[in-house]
Amino acid sequence: MMILMPMGFKYYRMAKIGIIGGGIIGLSSAYYLQKSGHQVTIIDQTDLKNGCSWGNAGMIVPSHFIPLAAPGMISKGIRWMFNSSSPFYVKPRLNKDLINWGYNFYKKSNQAQVEKSAPALKEISQLSKSMYQQLFKELPFDFGFHERGLLMLYKTKEVEHEEHETARLAKHYGIDAHILSSDEVQRLEPNVKTSVLGGVYFPGDAHLTPQSLVTGLIKLLDGKISFQFNTEVTGFELNNETIKTIITDKGDFSFDEVVVACGSWSGLVAKKLKLNLPMQAGKGYSFTLPDVEKNIHIPSILVEGRVAVTPMGNSLRFGGTMEINGIEHAINMNRVKGIVSSISNYYPEMKVEVPPVEKVWHGLRPCSPDGLPYLGRSTKYSNLIHASGHSMLGISLAPGTGKLVSEIVNGETLSMNLSEFAPERYLQSH
């Protein structure tokens, strides 16, 4: 039965909503949808205990307004492909989806695309940051939220030029950025010796402890929404361009609205709907040092090594690499060694050993070819909403995405224009 619920001076229908995927995007969508009074069910193929949002760097980065598909990435990627410890790797293989993804990535890696995409990425990043500030006040648990900014640290003249250009662009888009000398970097990190040519400081960035956020949200939502764990979506029953039923290995489920938010698996789910949602899983690794005596204060990215460094209480997390290798979970310790070898180059007194393989976390980031999320209502199915493809920005963009999903369902005026994130911007043939 449809129930009309008051919302300010307008009414919207209280709906039964199925969210496929219980990562941070699915959880954030569920949080805002249940706040609006909807009946929400999350369907996930796992028990939600070790998804892509658990072990990442926890950075909230409005400074990252340039998408992954950017000028220079093709040449860097080719150069890095022949180095087993490099920060970016695409495993060559005869795979139609990978070839199509690579072709689209190539087409989008240009300055015109960056100029088209950057304002939208900036807007959703800043929306999401403001939602985090609100969540920090309203959530009944601590998720380690701090607004200390982000340091982009570099050691070479070539990268210095690139980072200064990014800082200039950031200012053009209204993002605060400060170019720092090596001494100025050191003054911001009084407890840890740094060895850099310089850095760019983005004071508007923030960070959190992702596993605290995810576990806190699951506990908070338990009882307010339904969770269908360890359940695989195997197909759909369709009726007049509407998803009538979600078919799973644990039974069939019917909803008024369906949200696809299953990260790197979203492209496979879209295929079951005969939609083309180009997606590749970008594997990343991290490990965490507990009880660090002299910890850094401001999260940093060691630019040449593509390594993210985030303080989380007394712990310190290191993360990095982008390994486009399909949906598989093997851990390549050479990539982990690449992360470790970068650390002492920037923090010379920080002696970090290569962790044992059982202490290495990995996650599969959902990467679209143009580096932009798929976010919005389907043009083919009237009750389908896409919310995936956030690449390395899943945590960063999660509450903004969740808020936008709830606005779409409620028929409200959206907080921003989503045209750049149109989920069916690639051909619908499959």
pLDDT tens for the 430 residues of the chain, in order: 444 554 443 445 789 999 999 999 999 999 999 999 999 999 999 998 876 678 999 999 999 998 876 666 555 555 555 555 566 677 777 888 888 888 888 888 788 888 889 999 999 999 999 999 999 999 999 999 999 999 999 999 999 999 999 999 999 999 999 999 999 999 999 999 999 999 999 999 999 999 999 999 999 999 999 999 999 999 999 998 999 999 999 999 999 999 999 999 999 999 999 999 999 999 999 999 999 999 999 999 999 999 999 999 999 999 998 888 888 889 989 999 999 999 999 999 999 999 999 999 999 999 999 999 999 999 999 999 999 999 999 999 999 999 999 999 999 999 999 999 999 998 644 4
Residue 426 lies in a domain: no
Provide the residue range defining the domain that includes 369. Answer: 3-421
CATH number at residue 277: 3.50.50.60
Tokens matching residue 351 = 């002696």
Q: Supply the pLDDT for residue 68.
A: 74
Residue 429 lies in a domain: no
- DSSP assigned state of 430: -
Closest CA to 423 of 240, 270, 234, 237: 270
Q: Supply the pLDDT for residue 429.
A: 41
Q: Supply the pLDDT for residue 50.
A: 73
Residue 428 lies in a domain: no
Residue 21 lies in a domain: yes
What residue ranges in 272-349 does DSSP mark as E strands? 280-289, 300-302, 307-312, 315-324
Tokens matching residue 407 = 């606005």
CB 2 within 8 A of CB 37: no
Residue 32 lies in a domain: yes
Residue 368 lies in a domain: yes
What are the Cα distances from residue 421, in Å, to 78, 155, 249, 350?
27, 35, 31, 41
How many domains does the chain contain in total?
1
